[in-house]
Amino acid sequence: MERIAVNPVRSVRLVVLGLILVIALVMVQLARVAQAVPPPHARGNIEVIVRSGFAYLVDEAPAATHEFDLSAGDLLLFHDPVFGDRDKEIGSAVTRVQVIQGPDDDGLDDVLFLLDCTIRLNDGNLLFSGAGQLGDLGTGAEFALVGGTGQYSGARGTVEMVMGDEATKLNFTFARP
């Protein structure tokens, strides 16, 4: 039998090169798996209180009546302060309400409306929208949280609105990428 001379330096280089190749293949596989798994969403829950501020009514009633009648087509615009815990003002609410169906003979509970609102906070805005009925606001109405900016960029979820005599409570539940 003939002996083959082995160069130890060359053997070490081949082993190191083989290890580097195996590590590279493992890294490629891990990258593929990481791309296939969606990232976890950040979840949030914020509760704020909106108090009365500025309100403006664009009343579409005939000019001769000079009455506030809350009829179909009326537009209500609001700019109200927003408070967090401990009654500290943390932002403002800019809201547009469009009346779709006015009240019936039983009162204002049947007023149907479309609502768009932006809650402006120091770390970003939350935007929600939807249709509602005035009578539902006292016990809780749910609207779609359609987006946000800043800290709330990409936020999607719901907003529960409960309107009281002196303030309106908004509870945001959302996820964001």
Amino acid occupying residue 57: L
CA quadruple 134, 140, 145, 148: dihedral sign: positive
| 28 vs 2: CA distance, rounded Å | 42
Q: What would the pLDDT profile of 142-165 be if each residue is shown by its tens digit?
A: 999 999 999 999 999 999 999 888
Q: What would the pLDDT profile of 24-71 be if each residue is shown by its tens digit?
A: 554 545 445 444 444 445 677 878 888 887 777 776 655 555 555 678
Q: What's the CATH number of domain 42-176, 2.40.480.10, 3.20.20.210, 2.60.120.10, 3.30.70.141?
A: 2.40.480.10
Q: Could you give the C-alpha distances from 92 to 15, 67, 95, 118, in angstroms and in order? A: 66, 29, 10, 8
Which pLDDT score is estimated for 3?
A: 61
In the chain, domain spans: 42-176
| 154 vs 119: CA distance, rounded Å | 15
Average pLDDT, integer, range 93-118: 88
Q: 73-77, 112-116, 127-131: which range is least confident on average?
A: 73-77
